[in-house]
Every structure is written in structure tokens, then in C-alpha cells.
Structure 1
Amino acid sequence: MPAFRTGLVVGKFCPLHLGHELVIGHAARQCAELIVISYTKPEFDGCAPARRERWLRSRFPAATVLVLDDARLAEQCAARSLPLRRLPGNDAPDDVHRTFVAWLCTALLGRTVDAVFTSEDYGDGFAATLARCFGHPVRHVCVDRARSAVPVSGTAVRADVHRHRAQLAPVVYADFVRRACFLGGESSGKSTMAEALAGALGSAWVPEFGRTWWEQCDGRLVYDDMLHIARRQVDAEERLAADGCAWLSCDTSPLTTLFYSLDLFGRADPELVRLAERPYDAVFLCAPDFPFVQDGTRREPPFRLKQHAWYERALAERHIPYVILEGALPQRVDRAREALGLPPYLKEQP
């Protein structure tokens, strides 16, 4: 039997870390119903409301989640024919925040709570204000005030997300992993480069799904395979992002699949065209500046030059900045690291 009918947890959750999850999880076990409210003004980089909502719903699917910024709050007010309100700033007095949360519960969610869960000393005052606004007792439950169970803070995580990745659930950390995409014609070294950079960074890499699918189909692809390949490539990126370390190394993108769809079939599915616009934090184009290697799956050497020229046009048309990688593998890895703002890893051989 739950100790409380309805519990409440309020926080910025910028980002949602395991300390927050400890409090929310404890509240979920103690309450028949749990409300989780998140707002911050100003916002923090990388922690937009949509992300915070996705994190909370993913980790606590049974909870009632309300994540707000001023625009979202305005929509909520309009939908309920309520006077327009704005979020209080983070530096507003405590009582302003407490009465605002009480209003959110009654005006937007249509309910009150009988327990509020925090890991802070201010929780007693918070509960007292809620009790006054609701007209019934509200108990404060303090969880791990000493931060001994999960020694972490949002400030520390924001200062260096990657150093504190162990304090984040994979679904949260994945949103802070940036994507480096490697493009290039057949036998231009993009797969080797994607794997090499991941190894140099101690990170993960996403193999080219199109090649895997081509092999599974014995080289006989049909038009519908193109969209399937693009979707699976994106799915692999999303799945492997949490295994990355600051950067995820991606061997090709849906832009590659768009090229093959147009080249093989003279057309492309509208969804594939949209997926080909998928943004990356860094794009590298591998130059065809070493001997062509025929592994039994590739087309003739001139096709490699055709691909390279197509990528140059496609990237320019989309106003996507990119870095050309030339020379031997060590030079390419060092050039990529330089472009990512990282120190050299593989030194040029004398």
C-alpha cells in the first residue's frame, strides 16, 4: 500500500542525472500517483524542454510529467482559457516558486499533492507553502540530503558532461554525444577512417548499413531497399550514441543512400530526401587520392570520382560545411581531430 496518494517532485533536471532519478524513483515507490514538474528560466544548453520531457517520460513512464518554458506555458494557459502567466526566473524568491508550483498543480493539472520529495533543506518550507495553498497537509520527504548515495550535482555535470557520463542514464547521455559523419566514394577510406577515429577517441562507430544490406541481398537491391537502408542507418546512430564518448563516428549518412537511390533508380522516396537533410556536428569528405581497391563489391574506378563530385555538389547545395581528408590514414586522423578541436593523436611518420 503506497504511503501517499499523490507525490510531487520539482526540478530543473538540466540534465536529468542519477541523483534526480534517486529522488523520483523513491517518490514513485511511495506514491499511488506521481507528478514530476520541470522548468528553468533561463534555459541551459543541451537541456531544451523537449529533451527534458523525453528523458523523464523514458525513465519514468508512469509519472505525470509537466515540462515548461514560457511558450509551453502560454499554450497551456490558452488551452484552458487562463490568464497568461510567465515562468518565474531562477533567481526569484523561494515563495514565488512555491506558489507558482501550487498553481501549476491546481490550474494546469487539476489536482493537489499530499507529499513533496526533495533532497534539499528547503523542502520543509516548500511543503508548508503547498499545504497553505491546497488547504490540507503536505509532507516533505527528504531523500539523500547528504548526497552520499549519488554524489553528483547538476552544476558539476553541466561543467563536463562527458566526465560525469556515469551519472547519466544512456538515453540522457546520448543527447550530448556529437556526430561526426564520413562520406566518400567507393574505396575512399571512409569506413577505415570512421573506425580509426572512433578507436583514437575510445568511442563507438556506426558501420555502413547499406553495405551490410547489399551483402544480405546478394547485391540485388530494389527501390524500396533505399528507404529501408536509410532508416536502419539512422536507427543504428540513435542506438549507438550512448556508447560513444563525446563523439560518435558515423560511416556514411542517409545522404549516401540518396545518391544510390538516384543513381540506381532515378528517383528517391520523399522520406529518404528528408532523411538526407539529417544534420551532423562535423562532416568529413574522404578524397579519392589513393589507388582504387576492388573488393568484389565495388563498381569501376571512374564511379568513385563521380561519387566524390556528387558529394561536393550536394554538400554545397545544402550549405553544409565539410572538411576534406587527404593522404594516408595517420594524416587523416590527425586532420579530423584538429577539425574537432582535439589534439593530434597519430603523428606523421618521417
Structure 2
Amino acid sequence: MTRFASGLVVGKFAPLHCGHERLINAALAQCDRVWLISYSQPEMPGCEPEKRERWLRERFPQCEIVVLTPERVASWGLGALPHNDAPGDQHRHYMADLCLQVLNCCPQAVFTAEDYGDGFARVLCERFAQPVVHVRLQREQGAQAPSGTLIRSDVHRWRQMLSPSVYRDFVQRICLLGGESTGKSTLSAALAQALETVYVAEYGRERWEEKGGELAYDDLLIIAQTQVRREDAALAARWLVCDTSPLTTLFYTLEMFGKAPDELYTLAERHYHWVVLCEDDFPFVQDGTRQDETFRQRQQAWYVDQLTQRGIPFLRVRGSVNQRVAQILTALRG
């Protein structure tokens, strides 16, 4: 196996899939230093530059990663990004300009799984005035060979082609909110079953039990942080049901202590694709940990006020558990 001081892998990585990862790992096995360049003009929905950069940095932190955007290349004094359908040589010379004018590198090898790699290596060889080798990997054949086009057609069907950290960005989080004794936890489990996915239980109660029913000010931030970590670690398919959110933790922090740390306010801004508010349309049930009916009413009003102020659309559900599940399914599929 030939060794190179540096190698180059260029792609849209929209999304980053197992075929890309195989190619990058091959470059890492043969090169002391690997440059990963990602760009797409136009961008592919769901594969925005910040996501692609995060995917690459999480999966290949040892590489030199550059994700190009119109704003970024303009700040470097480069011309506009070539359109995806532009002639091949336009892309090749653009990459040469990037390497010479911005990155100050002249990779000795380019790694591809496509025929275009020969022409790419030829242009770089001319521009760098040094040999550039095209290392081509055989691409998997067949209708189900990994490709961005195939995966984008139904990312959930082809999720086995994506690492969990990449697929996570395509899972839609459903957040359930509601005051005490509004059936939120029961609905979380029932909804997850109906959607054939998993749910993340409320960590606050678990922490409350660990601390013997006495929560300190610092505990509340830990609750929100842990809730978010558990959501991010959940192995869900298409949907992830979240029994509460950091917004709930913010409410309890303000109720208990009259203030909240800045980080908790930031966590309370966490995005959920769907927000569901469980109505308090059945009698309050005291389980030994809850306060009272007036507290539930105040909490419900706070949620409505906060969601409205923040411009967050939300779905109100009422009735039995089955009725609530049906209302949510109708909204999701509507």
C-alpha cells in the first residue's frame, strides 16, 4: 500500500453515509494527513452546512475538515461556488484554487469511488506542479448501493447506511408538555408504541427520588442537561417521543427558587419538531409527589404563555389516552 503525506476527499456528504466513511477510512489508512472538503450548490434539504460539518467532525476528528458556504468562500476572496451541475473541470480548478490560495496545501493523492477522479488528479497535478495520484475504491454495485440520492429519497428506509450520529438529525422529536397529573407520562409510552419507536422518560422524577425529595438549585440544571443527553443518545426511528423538555425544568426552577441559570434558559430554547400540550381535562390525581389542582392550572397557563411568546406552534390534546394518540397521529400524518 502506497503511503502519502497528505490526501484529499471531496464530496457533498449530503448526508454522510457508509460509502463516504469507507472512502475516508481508506484515505486515513494511506495518508498522514487527510483533507475533507464538502460543498453543495444548491444545498440539499436536511443536509445544511452546519450539520455536515458536525457529522464530519464527530466521525473524523483527526481530519482537516472544510465545509464551504457562499459566505465563507467570499470572505476568502474565492469566486462563487460552482453549481452542482457545472462542468467537471470547473469544480476541479475551484478545488485547486482553494488548496493553493486558502488552505496552503498540495495533497499528493485524491480518493474517490468514481471515474471523475482521474480527471481531478490530472488537473491538480497540473496546478500543483507535482504528481497527484488518484486512488479509486470500487464502489458497491446494485440498486441498494449507498448513495446520497438514494438515501435522501427515504432516509428512514435507508437509515442503516448512516451512523447513529448522522441519522439522529433526521429523527423528529415530539415533546409532550403538561401540568402535573395531565397524563403526560402515560401518553409518552402509548404514543411511542403507536409510532413503533422509543420514548425518553422524564429524568426529573428520577433525580427527585435519588435526592429523597429534596432538590437543590444546582440539581435543576443537571436535570435539564441529563434530559437532553438522553434524548441525543436515544436510538429512535423516524420519531422520538420526549416526556418533557428543559422548558419544564425552567418552570420548576423559577417556581422553587425565583431564578434560573443562564444555561437553563438556553436549554429551554431547544428545538422540537412537534410540541404537544396535554390538557387538564380530567380530575387531578395526587400520587404523593404532586402539589395541587391550583398549581396544575398555573403550570398549564405558564406553558401556554411561554409557547405563545416564543412563537412555538403546539397541539392541544384531550380525552382518553387512545383519543390523544389518535389526535397526535392525525397531526403527524396530516
Q: What is the identity, as a one-letter code, of the residue corresponding to 1:252? A: T
What is the deviation of 1:299? 1.5
After superposition, what is the alpha-carbon deviation per residue over 1:190-247, rounded to whole angstroms, capped at 9, x for unaligned? 111112111111112111111111111111011222222111111211121xx11111
Is 1:206 the equivalent of 2:223?
no
Instruction: Write the distance in 2 (CA, Å) between the matches of 1:36 and 1:310.
Output: 47
Counterpart of 2:274 in structure 1 is: 282
Counterpart of 2:120 in structure 1 is: 126
Asked if the contact 2:117–2:136 (Cα under 8 Å) also holds between the matched residues in 1, the reply is yes
After superposition, what is the alpha-carbon deviation per residue over 1:49-85, rounded to whole angstroms, capped at 9, x for unaligned? 111111111111111111101112123x1xxxxx342
Instruction: Write the distance in 1 (CA, Å) between the matches of 2:72 and 2:232.
Output: 27
How many pairs are equivalent? 334
* SS of match in other structure, 2:277: strand
What is the deviation of 1:126? 1.1
| Percent identity of paired positions between Structure 1 and Structure 2 | 53
Unaligned runs of 5+ in 2: none
Is 1:15 the equivalent of 2:9?
no
Q: What TM-score results when the alignment is normalised by the length of structure 1?
A: 0.91
Asked if the contact 2:78–2:98 (Cα under 8 Å) also holds between the matched residues in 1, the reply is no
Instruction: Write the distance in 2 (CA, Å) between the matches of 1:63 and 1:277.
Output: 32
Q: What is the aligned counterpart of 2:304 among 299, 312, 316?
A: 312
Q: What TM-score results when the alignment is normalised by the length of structure 2?
A: 0.96
Is 1:52 the equivalent of 2:52?
yes
Counterpart of 2:255 in structure 1 is: 263
User: For the structure 1 residues 7 and 265, does the alpha-carbon distance in structure 2 shift closer, same or farther, using more than 3 Å as the test?
Assistant: same
Q: What is the identity, as a one-letter code, of the residue corresponding to 1:54? A: R
What is the deviation of 1:274? 2.3
Counterpart of 1:41 in structure 2 is: 41
After superposition, what is the alpha-carbon deviation per residue over 1:11-51, rounded to whole angstroms, capped at 9, x for unaligned? 00000000111111111101121111111100111111111
Instruction: Write the distance in 2 (CA, Å) between the matches of 1:217 and 1:42.
Output: 52
Counterpart of 2:284 in structure 1 is: 292
After superposition, what is the alpha-carbon deviation per residue over 1:164-207, rounded to whole angstroms, capped at 9, x for unaligned? 10000111000111111000111111111112111111112111
Instruction: Write the distance in 2 (CA, Å) between the matches of 1:246 and 1:146.
Output: 26
What is the deviation of 1:293? 2.3
Instruction: Write the distance in 2 (CA, Å) between the matches of 1:238 and 1:72.
Output: 29
Q: What is the aligned counterpart of 2:109 among 84, 96, 115?
A: 115
What is the deviation of 1:291? 2.8
Q: What is the aligned counterpart of 2:210 among 210, 216, 225?
A: 216
Counterpart of 1:347 in structure 2 is: none
Q: What is the identity, as a one-letter code, of the residue corresponding to 2:221? A: L
User: For the structure 1 residues 2 and 58, does the alpha-carbon distance in structure 2 shift closer, same or farther, using more than 3 Å as the test?
Assistant: farther
Q: What is the aligned counterpart of 2:85 among 91, 106, 109?
A: 91
After superposition, what is the alpha-carbon deviation per residue over 1:295-337, rounded to whole angstroms, capped at 9, x for unaligned? 2211223322221122122212222111111111111111111
Asked if the contact 1:2–1:29 (Cα under 8 Å) also holds between the matched residues in 2, the reply is no
Counterpart of 1:71 in structure 2 is: 71
Counterpart of 2:318 in structure 1 is: 326
Counterpart of 2:179 in structure 1 is: 185
Instruction: Write the distance in 2 (CA, Å) between the matches of 1:273 and 1:152.
Output: 41
What is the deviation of 1:146? 4.3
Q: What is the identity, as a one-letter code, of the residue corresponding to 1:17? A: H
* SS of match in other structure, 1:260: helix
Instruction: Write the distance in 2 (CA, Å) between the matches of 1:84 and 1:6.
Output: 23
After superposition, what is the alpha-carbon deviation per residue over 1:109-147, rounded to whole angstroms, capped at 9, x for unaligned? 111112111111111111111111111111111112343
Instruction: Write the distance in 1 (CA, Å) between the matches of 2:71 and 2:240.
Output: 32
* SS of match in other structure, 1:151: coil
User: For the structure 1 residues 84 and 8, does the alpha-carbon distance in structure 2 shift closer, same or farther, using more than 3 Å as the test?
Assistant: closer
Instruction: Write the distance in 2 (CA, Å) between the matches of 1:144 and 1:192.
Output: 50
After TM superposition, which residue ranges in structure 1, 4 or more long, deviate above 4 angstroms? none
Asked if the contact 1:2–1:32 (Cα under 8 Å) also holds between the matched residues in 2, the reply is no
Asked if the contact 1:254–1:276 (Cα under 8 Å) also holds between the matched residues in 2, the reply is yes
Instruction: Write the distance in 1 (CA, Å) between the matches of 2:105 and 2:271.
Output: 41
